[in-house]
Amino acid sequence: MEKIVLEQPKRITKKIIFFGVLFILGGLIGYYGLQDREDLVFKVTNNNTIDYRVFLKPNSFFSEPYLGSGRTYITSLIDHIDIDFKHSELFSEKTNGELSYYLQATISADRTSEATGDGTYWSKDYQLTEPVTIKFDATDRTSFDTSVSIDYSYYNSILESFREHYPVASEGTLKISLFVDGNIDAEGFEDPLGPKSESSLSLPLLERAVEAKVNIDAGGKTQDFVTSVEAPNLTLFLIMKVVGLLLMITAVTLIILTIVRRRSFIRNNQYIFLLDKILSANDSIITNIENMPNLAKFQKFEVKTFEELLDAYNEVRLPINYYQNKSGTESTFFIANENIVWIYHLKKRNLGS
């Protein structure tokens, strides 16, 4: 019998790999198409300095009227303190807007360092100045200076009164703060930006004739404001989205169809291989027939393997008839003896992938 040629699925495997690469390419194009918005960042950087002079009460030990910053002071000699705030803001790009600021004093009675736990027994705020607004236009920086004179004895007496009414062990603090609120029109942002900052100077109260150190928090920091804006060339991003999606859908469809085709080729090759093996090994005892006869009157014994059909042949010594359907997907081998027929079916669809 004529040798049957197997079909080769290797080219189909290469196609699957190619379509997989096409799917990845479509995914990348679609991903970049989704990047049609970008983050716009506006930075506000505070650079603040605080200077002060501690004026002394009349005394027999200090000839100068005041002591400069960075010294250690005897609280019982403090008369008043002049504080100078220098505030500046740097912007990441030129912009318009305004700054509003005011000064505030805060006194507090706090737990002592020896006490268990921490916290504040009582505190009170005093607004020292009315809010002041400065405007700026088309600039990447703005600054202002402001000063205040603090009557140290006044705030000290307030806390002394609190201690007289509530004789708990406490430590007193006076903090002078500069609060700044911004209202900035930044390009690309729908609403005005509102940066805030605080810088302060703190010194102890309720101390008598002992050293007192001044602590300064200049409040310098950078504040980032972020918004998402549309990227330029939106048409290009839209095209990338559509192209990427179409490539992915096309690639998936082709991969599915190609896998189905490859499975069909593999099954077909298995079918051809088994059929060729049977025909080649048993050419002398197999007879081709053009039409499948009607076997309804026969008692049928369907065997699962061709070897079982060979066992029947060895018993009856009758030719094995072979018929293949027109679609080439099923072959039937049978031996007919009087009213008994042994049948073996080789079906392509029953073969594994």
| H helix or E strand, kind and range, residue 329 | none
3-class DSSP state for residue 44? Answer: strand
pLDDT digits (tens, 9 = 90+) for 180-201: 999 999 888 888 999 988 888 8
What's the pLDDT at 95?
93
Tens digit of pLDDT at every position of the chain (353 positions): 444 444 556 777 788 888 889 899 989 988 887 777 777 889 999 888 889 999 998 988 888 999 888 888 888 888 899 999 999 999 999 999 999 999 999 999 887 766 555 678 889 999 999 999 999 999 999 999 999 999 988 998 898 898 888 887 778 889 999 999 999 998 888 889 999 888 888 888 876 544 445 666 665 688 888 876 666 777 887 888 888 899 999 989 988 888 777 777 777 778 888 888 888 889 889 999 988 888 888 999 999 999 999 999 998 889 999 999 888 889 999 999 888 999 999 988 777 65
Spatial CA neighbour of 330 closest among 312, 314, 353, 346: 346
Nearest partner of 224 among 95, 84, 46, 83, judged by Cα? 46
Residue whose pair of structure tokens reads 């599915």 in the numeric block: 256
pTM here is 0.59
Dist CA 111 CA 167 (whole Å): 12
DSSP 3: P
The span from the CA of 116 to the CA of 268, in Å, is 87
DSSP secondary structure string for all residues of 281-344? HTTTTEEE-SS----TTSEEEE-SSHHHHHHHHHHH--PEEEEE-TTSSEEEEEEEETTEEEEE
Domain boundaries, the chain: 1-36+231-263, 39-229, 282-353
Of 196, 186, 182, give the one whose Cα is nearest residue 229: 186
What tens digit of pLDDT does each residue of 258-268 get? Answer: 877 777 777 77
The Cβ-side half-sphere exposure at 74, using a 13 Å CA radius, reads 9
What pLDDT, on the 0 to 100 scale, is given for residue 6?
A: 47
Instruction: Decide: helix, strand or coil at residue 352.
Output: coil
**What is the length of the chain?**
353
Cα 54 from Cα 119, distance rounded (Å): 28
